[in-house]
Each structure stands twice: as structure tokens, then as C-alpha cells.
Amino acid sequence: MALSHFAEKSGIVPCNTDWGCWWQTVDEIHIEVRFPPDQPKKSRDVSLKIAPKKIDCVVSSVRIFQGTLFSIIHADEAIWTIEDGGRLLNIVLPKADYAAKDIIWSSLMEDGTYAPDALTFHEMRKKLDLEKFQIENPGMDFSKAKLSKCYDKIPESVLEKPEPS
């Protein structure tokens, strides 16, 4: 999957899940669904329904995830591809509210499903701040910068993440 120039230089901060991972940039949510190497998939195996606030992903008649997204996306601009010889489903969801300065998705779904742990969320916030600085100052390179900003306000949804049973 082609990443933004900033993400290519600075890397990503993924939130790992049982089906793969997701991460965010200032203007997009990226979802990677991984398949076993001995079970490659084709596009005909994928049923993906994307609405401005909902997503439903079914692969080979097995529901991978579904739910109400954390925030609104531009569903008509979402894209997905099968890559890596059928072992990877990449989904890109353009955020509808990316212009708002402090919008960060604290989980993939509105109900807190697929929320990152506190450390991952902290790193996501730092990465988004650096990306915002890069957008505001295009002549400078923030890809290797370190922030000394205090990130002490972690959303309750991240801190109160239920343990998997």
C-alpha cells in the first residue's frame, strides 16, 4: 500500500488486532487484514460494505469485523486492494473530519473495539502531531523529530479497555 510521503519516511504506529492492524494519518485510516500464507484470497472472496459511519468486512463467508466507525469517513472515496500474493487486504478510509486539529481516533470502532493500548495511543498522538507540523511547514522535515510535549490526557476509552476473555 502506498503510504503518504511522511509515513514512508517516519514509519507508522499500528494498533495490532487478531486479524491484522490499523493505523491513522492526519487524513486517513489504514486497515490491514492478514491471511495465512497457505490461504491466499482473491477480490471475489471479499465482501466489504463501507458507509460514512459503518463498515462490514467479510472474507470467504467469515465476518472479520463490523461496526460503527469511531468517526465519519468519506465512504465514496474509500479504497481496498488485495496484495502480497493474496495474503493481505488493505483498506484506506479517508477521514471526513481531518481538518479538525485535535481529532484522533482512539479506537477503530465507536464502541471502543480495536482500541490501542495506552502506549500505542500515546505514540499515535505524537506521530499525528509531527505529521500536522509537516503539513503546516512543508519546507521542513519532521520525520525524525522528537516531541517533548506532555501527552497526559489519554481518553478514558483507551485507559478502560476491557481485557479479552
Read off the CATH number of the domain in which 48 is found.
2.60.40.790
Indicate the pLDDT class of residue 113, thresholds 50, 70 and 90: very high
Average pLDDT over residues 24-53: 96
Give the residue-averaged pLDDT of 159-165: 54
Cα distance between residue 64 and residue 160, in whole Å: 24
- Is residue 6 included in any domain, yes or no? no
64 falls within a domain: yes
> Which is more confidently placed, 83 or 149?
83
| Number of domains making up the chain | 1
Strands, E assignment, the chain = 15-16, 20-24, 28-34, 46-50, 54-59, 62-68, 79-83, 88-94
pLDDT of residue 101: 59
| Structural domain of 35 | 13-156
161 belongs to a structural domain: no
Tell me, what's the pLDDT at 54?
A: 98
Pairing mode, strands 54-59 and 88-94: unpaired
Q: Is residue 145 part of a domain?
A: yes
Residues 57-72 have pLDDT tens digits of 999 999 999 999 999 9
pLDDT of residue 142: 55
**3 within domain boundaries:** no
Query: Is position 1 within any domain?
Result: no
Whether 65 maps to a domain, the answer reads yes
| Per-residue pLDDT at 147 exceeds 80 | no
